[in-house]
Structure 1
């Protein structure tokens, strides 16, 4: 492949007089270090962490100017690594991408080769970004849950079910034959959740107002929790004997107030999901399952496609909680 230009377009966030502003800039390509690859980005996707980075959240991004984008998929343009050759299609998600390393809201990303995984043969680049970090996190959660809980054990709760991780978890679990209870704060999304495969929809307010007792009536064989806080507390307290709960988010709260009773009287297992530094051997397993037996039939229907110039508007909608479905950024033109 011939590199025709030493510059490329990127959506940059700049800090000006204490305010954070986003715009499209021309950037210079850097020099590759040992074991780095240059990826021509075809698609990226918008995540809540990107919106935080774009609004100056120093817990996500310390230094500006900066290019957000924790997800990217594309082709290897240059390689200083034995892991990849020029022209190979790769997915790059998590690690430090889009946080303190310039991310996928650009025509090129330059990253350590160890951050990349080959795109599965039965997955398109666009599908990879419909999944993105959200899909990888959902896949990790499903993998750990299904290792220990069979479909005939009972209902599986999924909290934050209209979000990226939650919606994909509902779809995958339903496809695998599980009876899914979707937990959401959005009553208007009931039909959408049923269309994803949920058998029941439980409003967030209902589970938040469960009894304060240390143990509650068993309702679920297991759960995938994406929100934390009181909802995670009450899911754990409502999980059957030898049940399994995975935990991957804290948008409600990073704190939980529990006794040890669910763990020592019912043998409930709580499994943490770390999508940022998940071992590569398991990433490959999850991506290949997402490409094949776990792929939801309606995957293409779960996203909206945008261009680089649309990013700021979508970030503002996401921060207001008004963005529905997955948002995929097309960088092919």
Structure 2
């Protein structure tokens, strides 16, 4: 199969104090080593990608780098017998866009061990509407259920509920029969969140801890927290006995305060969710659930999705760092 002589990709570079992000023309020889060449159809805009696009984001491990921590596309060359030309695949939750050229490129070359064949039940677009954000939400739900969460244990609070992790978590939990409360700083998002399945909306100032009370009234059977910071402090003090808090993000800050009381008096489980350093068998199993029981109904209609071109991408990266994106933004590489 013939390929173009050149293709486009966003590249970030850091040399001393000089940081740059440029839309460049690359050749296949510029791509890193790997077993499989993929023509990228979609990538996603994630908070981690926003951090990769600024000088002191502290997520890129080596420069120059093509950001984009997830992608979906079709195999165009393969030296790995597990994959064939024309096969639709997902690459996400690995070293993509951090230490290996990522999804903001019309072509990507990756190791075969990172690849997940697109499971039945998902299109390439749906896979990236879910993307790393939906994958993280699914991991959060599964880990909490492994630690005893059931709908009978009480309502589940989702922080940062209009973002990628938050919005998909609200939809997944509601679909599985949980009573879901959603926390957001956006005053115009109530209808969106209720459509996803939230029955209660909390404002950002309602999820702040009381520094004088290490344990507040127990309200939540569990919580999905892609925010961190003060929100995590609040969740630890208000989760019911034996409940779990699944933390996966830091948009609200990297530090939080707590005491030992939530852990020794209420038996709270603090679950760290890391979607990058996991085995491919586990990754494939989670994607299988995302294509079946954890796939939100009417995914493309309910999860607010915007599409941008490569040229429009920098604005979206800036917007996600400001916390102003609702739902998911996709980069459509074939536009």
TM-score where L is the length of structure 2: 0.92
Q: Displacement of 1:257 after TM fit?
A: 1.9
Per-residue CA deviations over 1:121-166 (Å, capped at 9, x if unaligned) read 1100000111111011001001112232111221111111111101
For 1:209 and 1:8, locate their aligned partners in 2 and report how far apart those are by CA, in whole Å.
Answer: 50
- 1:43 is aligned to 42
For 2:30 and 2:207, locate their aligned partners in 1 and report how far apart those are by CA, in whole Å.
Answer: 53
Per-residue CA deviations over 1:179-237 (Å, capped at 9, x if unaligned) read 01111122221222111110101112112154631211110111111111221122111
Q: Displacement of 1:106 after TM fit?
A: 0.8
Contact 1:224 1:245 in 2 (8 A): yes
- 1:329 is aligned to 331
Per-residue CA deviations over 1:259-288 (Å, capped at 9, x if unaligned) read 222112211111111111123222222211
- 2:168 is aligned to 168
- 1:280 is aligned to 280
SS at match of 1:187: coil
Residues 135-214 of structure 1: matches in 2 within 5 Å? 135-147=134-146, 148-210=148-210, 212-214=212-214
Change (3 A) 1:158 1:188: same
SS at match of 2:29: coil
59-68 or 135-144: which moved more?
59-68
Contact 2:223 2:245 in 1 (8 A): yes
For 1:263 and 1:9, locate their aligned partners in 2 and report how far apart those are by CA, in whole Å.
Answer: 50
Residues 4-153 of structure 1: matches in 2 within 5 Å? 4-14=3-13, 18=17, 20-30=19-29, 36-57=35-56, 59-147=58-146, 148-153=148-153
TM-score where L is the length of structure 1: 0.93
For 2:57 and 2:79, locate their aligned partners in 1 and report how far apart those are by CA, in whole Å.
Answer: 31
Residues 220-235 of structure 1: matches in 2 within 5 Å? 220-235=220-235
Change (3 A) 1:16 1:313: farther
Structure 1, unaligned stretches of length 5 or more? none
For 2:111 and 2:217, locate their aligned partners in 1 and report how far apart those are by CA, in whole Å.
Answer: 49
Q: Displacement of 1:11 after TM fit?
A: 2.0
SS at match of 2:311: helix
For 2:50 and 2:266, locate their aligned partners in 1 and report how far apart those are by CA, in whole Å.
Answer: 39
Q: Displacement of 1:252 after TM fit?
A: 1.6
164-173 or 150-159: which moved more?
150-159
Change (3 A) 1:98 1:210: same
Q: Displacement of 1:33 after TM fit?
A: 8.3
For 2:205 and 2:184, locate their aligned partners in 1 and report how far apart those are by CA, in whole Å.
Answer: 9
- The alignment's C-alpha RMSD in Å is 2.1
136-145 or 253-262: which moved more?
253-262
